[in-house]
Amino acid sequence: MALGGMFRNSAAIYLHLVGPLQRKKAGASLSRCLHQTLTMSKRLQARRLDGIDHNPWVEFTKLASEYDTVNLGQGFPDFPPPDFAMEAFQHAVSGDFMLNQYTKAFGYPPLTKILASFFGKLLGQEIDPLKNVLVTVGAYGALFTAFQALVDEGDEVIIIEPFFDCYEPMTLMAGGRPVFVSLKPTPTKNGELDSSSNWQLDPMELASKFTPRTKALILNTPNNPLGKVFSKAELELVASLCQQQDVICITDEVYQWLVFDGQQHISIAALSLALAASLPGMWERTLTIGSAGKTFSATGWKVGWVLGPESLMKHLYTVHQNSVYHCPTQAQAAVAQSLEREQLHFGQPSSYFVQLPQAMQRTRDYMIRSVQSVGLRPVIPQGSYFLITDISDFKSKMPDLPGAVDEPYDRRFVKWMIKNKGLVAIPVSIFYSVPHQKHFDHYIRFCFVKDESTLQAMDKKLQEWKDELRA
Ligand code: PMP
Ligand code: GLN
């Protein structure tokens, strides 16, 4: 304020000394200059934000809203959560008035308790609700807290591509250095459909990414956007490298219930590898992240969690108690009640964790048939609720879509498709580091956690497109 006032006084003196015309001109340029001086005298943006100001979800959600579209872009269900979860939320809002107040910093006690008992069985661990559990604002909150707590200036974090885009900026904001390693598609035989299981890590390449500076590796299974469900052998490879190199594993398992074709989701924290009795096992070095948004088809609730050993969790508690402190109590109460219900129905046909993947497998298969009709070649996902399709045929037929010269083809294609075909998808290159984007600029991602009517509307648009292609 004092600085601004001083500049303003000198400007007034100067204007008083010159003639009317000069005064007008000088006034305009001085006010420009003054404005610049006031806004630019200090660097406003913290350095940790350099290069991360752009966000694809903000960009494509905005674009989708500007056109009349069928939205298969951002991943959220357009159908309601199950009745029991809706009732649990209503109960939380209209029941005990104390649920309007603060609760414990690291989680509403009934929620940390049920998370501990539910996941304790799945991970084969004795989980203490007060030492091994943290409730966060969605899985985003869990990831952010983990990166802030564990990644230090100059630490390297191994990220497997394609990756949920926020892993890179979160590493950077913590001062870390992302190190990328890509899943590579193995070529399919003529006419055979590609599958996410064909996308694999090269063990030698993965091993070469570990250095003495590697602090953590981030894993995402089932993977967004590919839908890959990592096999036991693949997880054992990652786990053995983490153990040999003394690296922390952050595993994002938000789609753990969304697995198809009889596949099984395996949590890396549950693997018991005995490389050497003296080395901490996978539970001791892993943070397992989940999301009620994905689990109960309620992405707006923004309740997530982290489970892990006390040695790691205590640092996440430090970040959380000094930033968010605690998450909304009512949403946590609703998640607690919903998980208690699921625990009673576990593995039975009445379980939502059984019903949801069955329903999503049907929508996946419908979408696969539908996209093929216009020459988009699907990569069959084993899990998650995303389907990526190969657009290479379009790339060769219409290479000159509008857009900046250096803009990856898939981004230009999606923008063209939104504007001209009324269909929203997400370009897959956003899930790659910049240097690798040019190798993966011929896939787009559709989300199939959608109501039947949305998929029919998509199919209608695709059939019109097909008719155009034939004409
Ligand atoms: N991880 C992955 C892989 C995701 O796709 C998402 C998007 N929902 C998140 C984390 C964030 O989840 P939440 O909405 O619970 O913050
Ligand atoms: N996880 C969701 C997706 O991949 C949404 C992410 C977001 O909107 N930021 O589509």
Collapse the DSSP code of 255 into the 3-class scheme (helix H, G, I; strand E, B; otherwise coil) and give the result.
Answer: coil
- Provide residues with CB under 6 Å of ligand 1: 75, 138-140, 164, 220, 224, 252, 254, 291, 293, 299, 304
Interior/surface letters 298-325, b for 16+ CB within 10 angstroms, e for the rest: bbebbbbbbbbbeebbeebbebbeeeee
Burial class (CB in 10 A: 0-12, 13-18, 19+), 330: buried
Residue with tokens 């497998």: 361
Residue with tokens 């350099």: 50
- Residue 271's nearest CA partner among 283, 262, 261, 255 is 283
pLDDT tens string 67-98: 999 999 999 999 999 999 999 999 999 999 99
Burial class (CB in 10 A: 0-12, 13-18, 19+), 410: buried
* Confidence (pLDDT) at 17: 45
Helix axes 138-150, 310-321, angle to 10 degrees: 110
* Confidence (pLDDT) at 382: 98
Task: Please tell me the distance between residue 343's alpha carbon and the centre of ligand 1 in angstroms.
Answer: 23
Task: Please tell me the distance between residue 99's alpha carbon and the centre of ligand 1 in angstroms.
Answer: 25
Q: Whose CA is nearest to atom 7 of ligand 2?
A: 57
* Confidence (pLDDT) at 100: 97
Q: Cα(241)–Cα(253) distance, rounded to whole angstroms?
A: 20
Task: Please tell me the distance between residue 76's alpha carbon and the centre of ligand 2 in angstroms.
Answer: 8
Q: Whose CA is nearest to atom 9 of ligand 2?
A: 57
pLDDT tens string 101-158: 999 999 999 999 999 999 999 999 999 999 999 999 999 999 999 999 999 999 999 9
Looking from the CA of 91 toward its CB, the CA atoms found within 13 Å total 13
Start-to-end CA distance of the chain, whole Å, equals 67
57 alpha carbon, closest ligand: 2
C-alpha distances in Å from residue 273, one per residue of 205, 221, 240, 313:
22, 19, 7, 22
Q: Whose CA is nearest to atom 10 of ligand 1?
A: 139
Report the mean per-residue pLDDT for the chain. 91
Ligand 2 pocket: which of 57, 291, 385, 386 to mutate (most atoms <8 Å of CB)? 57
Interior/surface letters 123-162, b for 16+ CB within 10 angstroms, e for the rest: bebebebebbbbbbbbbbbbbbbbbbbbbeeebbbbbbbb
58 alpha carbon, closest ligand: 2
Structure-block tokens of residue 235: 């997880």
Q: What is the mean pLDDT of residues 254-271?
A: 97
* Confidence (pLDDT) at 122: 96
* Confidence (pLDDT) at 405: 83
pLDDT tens string 435-456: 999 999 999 999 999 999 999 9
Say if residues 427 and 444 touch (Cβ distance below 8 Å): yes
* Confidence (pLDDT) at 12: 46
Ligand 1 pocket: which of 161, 254, 445 to mutate (most atoms <8 Å of CB)? 254
Give yes or no for residue 471 having a pLDDT over 90. Answer: no
Structure-block tokens of residue 228: 């890959």
> What percentage of the chain reaches a pLDDT higher than 70?
90
* Confidence (pLDDT) at 1: 35
* Confidence (pLDDT) at 374: 87
* Confidence (pLDDT) at 36: 55
pLDDT tens string 23-63: 555 555 555 555 555 566 889 999 999 999 999 999 999 99
Residue 427 main-chain phi, psi, to 5 deg: -65, 135
Give yes or no for residue 332 having a pLDDT over 50. Answer: yes
Q: Give the position, in ligand 2's atom list, of the atom nearest the Cα of 73.
A: 10
Q: Is the CB of 196 under 6 A from ligand 2?
A: no
Query: Which contacts of 373-376 are long-range, i.e. CB under 8 A and separated by 24 or more positions?
Result: 373/462, 373/463, 373/466, 374/462, 374/465, 374/466, 374/469, 375/469, 376/444
* Confidence (pLDDT) at 6: 42
Looking only at the bridges linking them, the beta strands covering 214-220 and 248-252 are parallel
* Confidence (pLDDT) at 275: 63
Task: Please tell me the distance between residue 139's alpha carbon and the centre of ligand 1 in angstroms.
Answer: 5
Q: Cα(193)–Cα(256) distance, rounded to whole angstroms?
A: 24
Q: Cα(223)–Cα(420) distance, rounded to whole angstroms?
A: 30
pLDDT tens string 395-417: 888 888 988 889 999 999 999 99
> What percentage of the chain reaches a pLDDT higher than 90?
82
Residue 95 main-chain phi, psi, to 5 deg: -90, -125
What is the Cα 293 distance to its own chain's centre? 12
Q: Give the position, in ligand 2's atom list, of the atom nearest the Cα of 164.
A: 4
Give yes or no for residue 277 having a pLDDT over 70. Answer: no
Q: Give the position, in ligand 1's atom list, of the atom nearest the Cα of 137.
A: 16
Q: Is the CB of 162 under 6 A from ligand 2?
A: no
Q: Cα(274)–Cα(285) distance, rounded to whole angstroms?
A: 14
Task: Please tell me the distance between residue 298's alpha carbon and the centre of ligand 2 in angstroms.
Answer: 13
pLDDT tens string 203-231: 999 999 999 999 999 999 999 999 999 99
Q: What is the mean pLDDT of residues 313-323?
A: 98
Ligand 2 pocket: which of 71, 74, 254, 295 to mutate (most atoms <8 Å of CB)? 74
